[in-house]
Structure 1
Amino acid sequence: MRKILSLSIFLMLLAGWSCTQEGDATTVVATEEVIFVSGDKVRVLGRLITDQPVTTTDHGFQISTAENFPSPIIVSLGVKEGPGRFIGEAEGLDINQIYYVRAFASVGGVDLYGESIEVKTLNPIIESYGPTFSKPGAEIIIQGRNLPLGTKVFFGTQEATILENQFESRLRVRIPAASTDPIVKVRVQVQNKILEFSQNFEYQSGKYTLLGQFPEGQRIYDNVFFQNQSGFFVGIGSLRLGAGYYQGFQRFDPQSNAWSAVNFPGESREGAFATSNYLGGGAIEVSRDVFELKRDFWRIDGSTFTRLPDLPTNSFNSLAFELNGALFLAGGSGIGTRSIRKYNPTAQTWSTQAPTPIDINNGLAWFVFENKAYFVASDSRIWEYQPTNDSWRIFSSYPGSQGNGYGLAQVIGEKVYIGLYRRTEQFFELDLRSLVWKAKNSVPGLPQSINTGYFTFNGQIYILRAPEESIAGVLPMELYRFDPNGI
């Protein structure tokens, strides 16, 4: 019974397939099945069937977009000795296209063909990519299907480099340089088809522009700085390596980019405090590590200083801020590292607030937002101080390194920029509503630099940087303008 079944199947093959006969020899070519198909590639299984020894001068497959194979793509597999299966692959086909494929063999000068099989190449599909926030030169991974060799990836108008294409489903891509916009679309191009992710990619941004140097080539430390309607003020600090004190202030006008000298009627000093409206405290070093503490207290009006009644206590390296029209003086030496005093400018009186939950001095990064003060503690937790009920709570946590302290914090709109601590170049943006952190670009210049003043104007941050005191050489203080969204 099995022999009869086998004979019947063979007779059916002879009836359906191309064949040639030489005496008693019978040779048949069969197109068995398509075993793989992708966007631009098909892999087909064929078979050469014969009951006698046979040698083909060539065998393989023909592929065409027309059923009559007028100008087919030839997949040549060369000489074949004897019968058996064979596999061929064609690549570089058009995506989403119907093709016809058939096996062939050349035997004794005769071309034999199997029946054609219809196959349609697949459409490319993109599924996901990540990360969605990074900087040029870093890598992202794109996941998808049917992404053949020759696939291109664009970030906005910038073409990326594809480092690796794994199984036409995973692309390892190097992020290109940005053009002008930090937020761009990621597009994948396969032949003439363009696919676009709905999730935007955001470049790590932050552009620094060097505006110039501090006047006279001076390097000052332990100074004060403040900002008001008249510009940015930097001064009354100590000169490098105990060379005395810097007298008065230099005022920078961000509209003209010009510096001008401003006289201060009091003594120069180090470790004083200053806000937009008040200045005071500090000390003069009379001998090594011996200080004469100062209690004079000044009202600032533009470039004019008016002396007020002295401070009720010493203040050295304290931190000062203004909320709801009142001045708050916190921490440092003299009033206690966890003490806060509040100054009422109408009554010209001082009162003591509840102790703070953290040690405070002018080495902390801090900022004011919506009449509340925020302090980045040494353990990276950010504490919020509510002056109306004299209360504290943990607000967020700084994600970067605090190095050796003395970082900066500046608010623009509903975002605050924190970082650039001593011996670090990290800078971060915190959305004050969503509490989402984003890294910003590192500051250029000498890495061993510290911040000696920082201000905001027209949505940009101005940062005065000085080489650390131990750095020798004629190295000036440099003023940079930082555009948070610049590329």
Structure 2
Amino acid sequence: MNQKYLPYAFLSLLFTLFLTLPSACIDDPEVELGIQNARTPQMGETVTINALTASSVTLTATVVQANGAAVTERGFCWSEQAHPTVDHHTKVFGKGIGEYQGTVDGLVNGRDYYIRAYARNAKGVAYGEERKVQTQTGLGLVHTFIIADSTRAATAVCGGRIEISGEGEILARGVYYSTSPDMNPKDSALSTSAADSFLCPIRGLRPSTTYYVEAFVRNHFGVYNGTRKSFTTTDGRSVVSSLTVLNVSYTSASVSATVLSAGDAPIEERGFCWSTLPDPTLANSPHVEVGSGTGPFTGQCTGLEANRKYYVRAYAGNRIYGYSYSAPDSFTTLSSLPTVVTLPASTLTRGTATLGGRIVSPGQSAVTSCGICWSLTDETPTLYNAESAELTLSPGGTFTGQLSGLKGGRTYYIRAYATNAQGTSYGETVVQRMPSIFRTIPHNFPGAARLQGTPTCFATTDRGYLLGGDIGPYYSADLYYYSTTTNEWRQMLACPAGPLKWQTAVTLGGSAYVFGGIDVNHRTRNSFYRYDIASNTWYTIASSPAPDSLCLTLGVALNGNIFLIGGRGDTATNHVWGYNVAASTWIRQPDFPTQHYGGVALTVGTMVYAGLGRNADGSFNRNLWRTIDLSTWTPETVCSVANGGILAGTTCRNKLYLIDESFTILEYDPATHTWTRRAQLPSDFRGIHCMFTLNDIIYIGLSQQSSTLLAYDPTWDN
């Protein structure tokens, strides 16, 4: 000991001896001098978690100081509640000061625990840092799989692959399966394999049933499942090929087929069944059994009636899974009469269709005639109750012909027929609906609606133009065209004459010539313009002398010149003017037979037909005249079939087509001088503004009820 501390040590000893002297007055208890001033141990500030399992945790703690009394016990205490003490669970790991490590075990997997280090001496128990831990689940990870092509009607092979094995020994592995998507109830199949990848054959399944399956693994800590998957069992039945009809007689037919697969049980029976009705089965049809097993087989359908159509199917199967069938085929037994098939209608265009048939068998004698018969009302047309046409039989046994004058939008019942010395037979009825007379163009006119008859229209090769017109509160000068090539409307440059109605437009070459009209103040005009179609450009044409200011004048082009017929200014006129395009001059022609405005002026070949307008008093003039030179007019016809006046007109395929005030299409054939009332316009298209022909289709429309055009094919209006 250091010499300088000796006096202090001596004094301390004397003081201690003094305290231990017996007192004459009080009996003090005996106290051990070494712990009189001791305290509970001092613990380290941190507790380290070294390892964690499903049932244990390993920790490291430190007793820093004993604080005057020996540390007789140190360890860890724990509880599922916060702030555990030695009154809860404890485990001792030695005594004394310093660092110590220990493993707390016997825990439950997947639970939260609170753990504290502690140390005990004579003064009591001291606690260190409290740590909250959660034990591992002890479970692993497994994936579910289904073996491809293993599924049968009653069996399947499924399994799992253990990716993480979990803790401890694996007690069982296998698959759960159920017909319920939520796996309740469920069955299981166990695997005897100890490998990480395992298979489980599942037996006793139901055919054509969807099953849900999960791989599972069980250890001491519980069960962990794989992802749920599904499979559908097969029906277990065989697979039969399409059959082949080998030979057909009057009362029998030989057929063949092949059993491609037996399914999930041996083929006990195979054969053929037949009926006069589609889809024959063993339950409703006669049949013939042709052995058992897989592979090709041939049989005879017997006891058949002559000249009957039969449907036949091959079958194969067993009593376990039932029978499967081939796709049906058909044949027609031979007859003393010809056996004939009606061919489908084809090439439906311009009111015509190609119809015909095929001779399957001539019967007991040669075919002497064949053809088709058809009806709009009778579903089984014959030579005696319907229209018919005899056709020429080709060397290949077919006969076809083109039927014309068909009615568009109507349903026809068609049968082929053939005749021999024994009589006439018919094929099956073919039902054919012909194309509609009318077709709506699915593109709206982009301009404002016009009042009936107020715009003017003209046409080029593939375009129909609409110019001006009365919109209601004002007139328009706008020009639009519809193109059959692009199937769209486009707006072009407006007419410089300004907003007008009842103008006259005539096309010649690549231009349209526009004359006259009336403005919103009811003043007629005699302005004359040329519109160049290719460049979308308007040119003013000034010439003197010129026609009077007129509206509702008829216009027509002939021999390279423009002609204007009649019209109305202050009153109706019968003047005819010709404009020589090459000389840019107007020439007065001989007068029209009557004062006249409105109506039509149309050209068929070199002949001009004009008339069907209004007289000076506004009454309808039913007369139509013709001319080849605009000098001499000859009465052509009186239109007795029109109801009221004529709203619009055009030509198509050398005929005139007009629309009267009942919105009925009138056809006039100059070759036969005959009028025919054709179809009436649909209600949405009554209120005509334009009518022009493009590519042999007549376009009508732009009523106030509809902003679309109506395509009319006159070849189907029969």
TM-score between both structures, scaled by the size of structure 1 = 0.54
Q: Deviations over 1:115-147 (max 9, x none)?
A: xxxxxxxxxxxxxxxxxxxx9xxxxxxxxxxxx
CA separation in 2, counterparts of 1:403 and 1:283?
A: 24
Aligned residue in 2 for 1:451: 688
Aligned residue in 2 for 1:415: 655
| Of 356, 359, 367, the match for 2:602 | 367
Aligned residue in 1 for 2:527: 296
CA separation in 2, counterparts of 1:314 and 1:477?
A: 32
CA separation in 2, counterparts of 1:429 and 1:205?
A: 20
Deviation at 1:415, TM superposition (A): 2.3
Unaligned segments of structure 1, at least 5 residues: 1-134, 136-153, 163-169, 174-178, 196-202, 468-474
CA separation in 2, counterparts of 1:292 and 1:216?
A: 24
Deviation at 1:187, TM superposition (A): 8.1
| Of 232, 235, 238, the match for 2:467 | 235
CA separation in 2, counterparts of 1:159 and 1:247?
A: 49
Aligned residue in 2 for 1:316: 551
CA contact (8 A) 1:220 1:237 kept: yes
| 1:379–1:238 Cα change, 3 Å | closer
- 2:707 is equivalent to residue 477 of structure 1: yes
Aligned residue in 1 for 2:615: none
Deviation at 1:413, TM superposition (A): 2.6
| Of 383, 388, 395, the match for 2:636 | 395
Deviation at 1:180, TM superposition (A): 9.2
The letter of the residue matching 2:673 is L
Superposition pairs for residues 246-257 of structure 1, below 5 Å? 246-257=476-487
- 2:453 is equivalent to residue 213 of structure 1: no
Higher RCO, 1 vs 2 (CA within 8 Å, ≥6 residues apart): 1
Deviation at 1:486, TM superposition (A): 2.8
CA separation in 1, counterparts of 2:622 and 2:434?
A: 22
The letter of the residue matching 2:635 is I
The letter of the residue matching 2:504 is F
Deviation at 1:295, TM superposition (A): 2.6
- 2:160 is equivalent to residue 160 of structure 1: no
Aligned residue in 1 for 2:716: 486
| 1:485–1:353 Cα change, 3 Å | same
Q: Secondary structure in 2 aligned to 1:268?
A: coil
Deviation at 1:479, TM superposition (A): 0.6
CA separation in 1, counterparts of 2:689 and 2:585?
A: 31
| 1:458–1:230 Cα change, 3 Å | closer
Deviation at 1:171, TM superposition (A): 6.5
Deviation at 1:218, TM superposition (A): 2.5
Aligned residue in 1 for 2:628: 386
Q: Secondary structure in 2 aligned to 1:451?
A: coil
CA contact (8 A) 1:419 1:425 kept: no
Aligned residue in 1 for 2:458: 226
CA contact (8 A) 1:187 1:194 kept: no
CA separation in 2, counterparts of 1:228 and 1:263?
A: 17
Deviation at 1:401, TM superposition (A): 1.8
| Of 699, 703, 715, the match for 1:462 | 699
| 1:192–1:312 Cα change, 3 Å | same
Deviation at 1:157, TM superposition (A): 4.6
| Of 574, 579, 596, the match for 1:338 | 574
CA separation in 2, counterparts of 1:219 and 1:411?
A: 24
Q: Secondary structure in 2 aligned to 1:219?
A: coil
CA contact (8 A) 1:342 1:351 kept: yes
Aligned residue in 2 for 1:59: none
| 1:476–1:337 Cα change, 3 Å | same
| 1:444–1:159 Cα change, 3 Å | closer
Q: Secondary structure in 2 aligned to 1:461?
A: strand
| 1:219–1:327 Cα change, 3 Å | same
Superposition pairs for residues 39-50 of structure 1, below 5 Å? none
Q: Deviations over 1:365-398 (max 9, x none)?
A: 331122332124344332112316x111122333
CA contact (8 A) 2:555 2:601 kept: no
CA contact (8 A) 1:428 1:440 kept: yes
CA contact (8 A) 2:701 2:708 kept: yes
Deviation at 1:258, TM superposition (A): 0.3
Deviation at 1:282, TM superposition (A): 1.2
The letter of the residue matching 1:415 is K
- 2:512 is equivalent to residue 273 of structure 1: no
CA contact (8 A) 2:626 2:636 kept: yes
CA separation in 1, counterparts of 2:643 and 2:605?
A: 25
Q: Secondary structure in 1 aligned to 2:633?
A: strand
The letter of the residue matching 2:666 is F
| 1:457–1:426 Cα change, 3 Å | same
CA contact (8 A) 2:373 2:386 kept: no
Aligned residue in 1 for 2:132: none
CA contact (8 A) 2:607 2:626 kept: yes
CA separation in 2, counterparts of 1:465 and 1:194?
A: 52
Q: Secondary structure in 1 aligned to 2:476?
A: coil
CA contact (8 A) 1:252 1:258 kept: yes
CA separation in 2, counterparts of 1:194 and 1:207?
A: 34
Question: Which structure would you say has the larger Rg?
Answer: 2
Q: Secondary structure in 1 aligned to 2:701?
A: strand
| 1:371–1:269 Cα change, 3 Å | same
Deviation at 1:244, TM superposition (A): 0.5
- 2:593 is equivalent to residue 351 of structure 1: no
CA contact (8 A) 2:554 2:567 kept: yes
Q: Secondary structure in 1 aligned to 2:439?
A: strand
The letter of the residue matching 1:386 is I
CA contact (8 A) 1:460 1:484 kept: yes
| 1:262–1:155 Cα change, 3 Å | farther
Deviation at 1:411, TM superposition (A): 1.8
| 1:312–1:217 Cα change, 3 Å | closer
Identity of aligned residues (%): 19
| 1:317–1:217 Cα change, 3 Å | closer
| 1:476–1:413 Cα change, 3 Å | closer
CA separation in 1, counterparts of 2:589 and 2:692?
A: 28
CA separation in 2, counterparts of 1:188 and 1:345?
A: 59
| 1:446–1:308 Cα change, 3 Å | same
Q: Deviations over 1:69-122 (max 9, x none)?
A: xxxxxxxxxxxxxxxxxxxxxxxxxxxxxxxxxxxxxxxxxxxxxxxxxxxxxx
Deviation at 1:185, TM superposition (A): 11
Deviation at 1:159, TM superposition (A): 6.2
Superposition pairs for residues 430-449 of structure 1, below 5 Å? 430-446=668-684, 449=686
Q: Secondary structure in 2 aligned to 1:275?
A: strand
| 1:306–1:338 Cα change, 3 Å | same
CA separation in 1, counterparts of 2:698 and 2:585?
A: 34
Superposition pairs for residues 53-72 of structure 1, below 5 Å? none
CA contact (8 A) 1:250 1:259 kept: yes
TM-score between both structures, scaled by the size of structure 2 = 0.38
